[in-house]
Structure 1
Amino acid sequence: MRLAFQVAYIGTDFYGSQMQPGLRTVEGTVIGACRDLGLFDDWRKAGFAFSGRTDRGVHARRQICAFTTPCPERAIARLNHILPRDCECSGWAETDDSFHPRYNAQARTYRYYIYDDGSTDPHRMQEAASLLTGTHNFSHFSRLDGKNPERTILSSHIHAEDGFYIYEITAPGFLWNMVRCIVSSIIAMGRDELNADDMTALLKATPGMRHVTPAPPEGLILWDIDCGIPFTPLKGTGSMRDAAPERTRFFETMKKVNWMMD
């Protein structure tokens, strides 16, 4: 049976999501747990896949992984029991054999936490966020590596919550470092270091404009992925069951992000 799981993790102590030899990664951690449970021997033959990559230090609320296993009941009942405290499955779904969490993803949503230290104007940040909706050339906002620089942004907005400005953006797909570069430009506009004309020029990939420097990864959360399938909630028994220390650590890190950008 092929299963999909929603995976949450605090990225602080992971070297990103993608497997790397000798390093602690989210994929490596989940695959190791599956092997320990006897869910599969070879992750390649099981078709194990994540919906996308997150860089070192980036967190996730609803990353999605999928794999095929002869022991689905064991996977659903036991996987959270052996995952570490900073990684947990929050939901599961049975899928057809062709399901791939990357290629079936219809929309991805990220959030970035910006600590409100009084240096940014939220109205100007929202003005910048509003300019991003629609299809634009993100050459100045990403590392392209030969990919098409055009992306369509479905929604982009800022709201305040618990002493932070939270930037939320949704699109079918993103380029490497794209969200973090967007956040840098939004903060720069909030600090009156960029204006609307500058932002528009960046979105048109105007020659001569300087490439945007990405914001620190610690403030970024892969918030949700819509693959067009319903998930059944899983009771937390691992990392997020008693996550107060991890959450405290996360928010304390967020408070440092603004001065890291100076």
Structure 2
Amino acid sequence: METDKTTDPAVPRPVRLAFRVSYLGTRFYGSQQQESSRTVEGEFIAACRRLDLFSDWRAAGFCSAGRTDRGVHACGQVIAFSTSYPDRARQALNLQLPLDVWCTASAEVADAFHPRFDARSRTYRYYYSVQVRDLQSMEAAAGIFIGEHNFSNLARVGDKNPWRKVLEARIGTEGRFTYLEVKAESFLWHQVRCMATALLSVGAGELDMDGILLLLNETANRPIQPAPAEGLVLWDTDCGLLWEPVEKSDCSGTYCAELRRHHTLMKQICQVIRPEQP
């Protein structure tokens, strides 16, 4: 007869762990579990089960800091669960996870810890895939978003409270990319992507700072459309934790390097097949 692990005295008392998680969202149908689609949470739970960290994700209190849409990436998602085998989790999870999702750090947390409700703030970056003309105007316009505002024209609100408090908003550059970085206590669905669209319009000279103010204070005739999902990265989730680095698998690094090589090759092929017009 199989022993019930919850009452077996040989099984240590469960420990609650939080993991900082990165993933490439391209091949995921979002982060949240779905019965028939590949998701970050689904792959994470499957890896935990293979390692026998838990059998029932609900009993283990498995949860994440928030959901990301299909195609959205992360380097600062937080996932938590309870297990009687914390050392095994820290040492082996990256060996069981697929190549496009990996843990970068862990922390032992209180039994009641929930990354969504205990998060102090979240930071997103949106990387633009097009060349930006006027960075100074975009930077000035980004500052307008700081503070508490009604984002009805810049998000999919539904039945949520449209008011959100933005703590920081800035425009930065990294290599050949321009990005919008936004930090807030919480976000509405598509909020950052709509903000990215509005600021890109400022950079293109199609919208000015008064236009941003109108979007925050008046009802728009046509809501702003969100920018494409593939440019968005959940950059950080601040839960006030002291993180300890997790040993990384070389496999995910090799996978990312191969993706870069593949995209460079495909770009070259496209230029040969369909040369850019002068």
Instruction: Give the AA of the match of 1:167.
Output: L
Deviation at 1:120, TM superposition (A): 2.5
Distance 1:217 1:50 in 2: 20
Q: How does 1:1-262 map to 2 (within 5 A)?
A: 1-117=15-131, 119-204=132-217, 206-237=218-249, 240-242=252-254, 243-247=256-260
Describe the shift of the 1:249–1:20 C-alpha distance in structure 2 as closer, same or farther (beyond 3 A). Answer: farther
Structure of higher RCO (CA pairs closer than 8 Å, 6+ residues apart): 1
Q: TM-score, normalised by structure 1?
A: 0.92
Distance 1:203 1:30 in 2: 38
Q: Which runs of 4+ in 1 moved over 3 A?
A: 246-253
Q: Which has the larger radius of gyration?
A: 2
Deviation at 1:61, TM superposition (A): 0.4
Distance 1:177 1:160 in 2: 22
Instruction: Give the AA of the match of 1:177.
Output: H
- Are the counterparts in 1 of residues 153 and 219 from structure 2 also a CA contact under 8 Å? no
CA offsets, 1:102-150, max 9 Å, x none? 0000010001111352x53111111221111111000011111211101
Describe the shift of the 1:70–1:191 C-alpha distance in structure 2 as closer, same or farther (beyond 3 A). Answer: same
- Are the counterparts in 1 of residues 21 and 101 from structure 2 also a CA contact under 8 Å? yes
Deviation at 1:234, TM superposition (A): 0.9
Instruction: Give the unaligned 5+ runs of structure 1.
Output: 254-262
Instruction: Give the AA of the match of 1:22.
Output: S
Deviation at 1:239, TM superposition (A): 5.3
The aligned length equals: 251
RMSD: 1.7
Describe the shift of the 1:153–1:179 C-alpha distance in structure 2 as closer, same or farther (beyond 3 A). Answer: same
